[in-house]
Amino acid sequence: LEACPRLKLVSVWGVGVDNVDLAAAARLGITVSNTPGYASIGVAEHALTLALAVARQIITNDRLIRGGSWSRGWLVQLYGKTLGVVGAGPIGQRMVELGRGVGMKVVAWTRKPTPERARQLGVEFLSQDDLLRQSDVVSLHLPLTDETRGFLSRERLALMKPTAILVNTGRGPLIDEAALSEVLREKRIAGAGLDVFDTEPLPVGHAFTTLDNVVLSPHVAPMSPETTLYGVEMSIENIESFLRGQPIRVVAKGSRR
């Protein structure tokens, strides 16, 4: 940023701005905008798909059949179970709708809970620890910030039910990966569906790749033609609004014009 004295705007195509030094941008007078909600439908669908893939053992049984086996083990039914949605932004809100659509009881956590927001979403807001204790599926929909980094620590993972499924389509560093690998290996939770990781692409031989109770995908939750087009349109709209002197979706306010 310091090497770009004429830079006035960084229009991020995406929700996460953890790859931009916002404090430096503001100090240097550079405005930063993003595209909140552009991928809410696709990411929420992907999160539900990961939860179902783990619960119904889709990947495991596919591999067994391809290898000539025919498994008839018990599967998990999500209907009637509790879905804990962590984060009540656009993606979390859509996840609430999808969870309710498959017959789950939905609870949520947000940094700023109010009775009005609870009524709007039709959910009960719980504390972080209570949500982890009660939920059969925990789905993370948080941005990566200094506050949320390491959100699911070793201590918080220990609060989850041994039958619980964890889904992360937010950012990898929201979770202590070493602790999660250990918890999954020791079957202290039932499984996980992960689309994001500390290091991407996921290194060859990573602990997650050795576990049969994990479903992995390569940070593709927001990738669809519809989502891509919407994100591009929003990003361009941010630029046009800035040029008109009316910046929108601002996450860091600058003074350069």
Omega within 30 of 0 (cis) for the link into 162? no
Fill in the amino acid letter for 118.
A
Fill in the amino acid letter for 235.
S
Q: What separation in angstroms does the CA of 73 have from each of 56, 61, 68, 122?
A: 10, 10, 16, 35
How is residue 243 written in tokens? 């040029």
| 56 included as an active-site residue | no
| 206 included as an active-site residue | no
Indicate which residue of 46, 94, 141, 171 is catalytic: 171
| 219 included as an active-site residue | yes
Unique residue bearing structure tokens 């689309």? 195
Indicate which residue of 133, 149, 219, 237 is catalytic: 219
Indicate which residue of 200, 226, 233, 240 is catalytic: 200
What is the sign of the dihedral through the CA atoms of 193, 199, 200 and 201?
Answer: negative
Fill in the amino acid letter for 13.
W
Cite the active site residues: 171, 200, 219
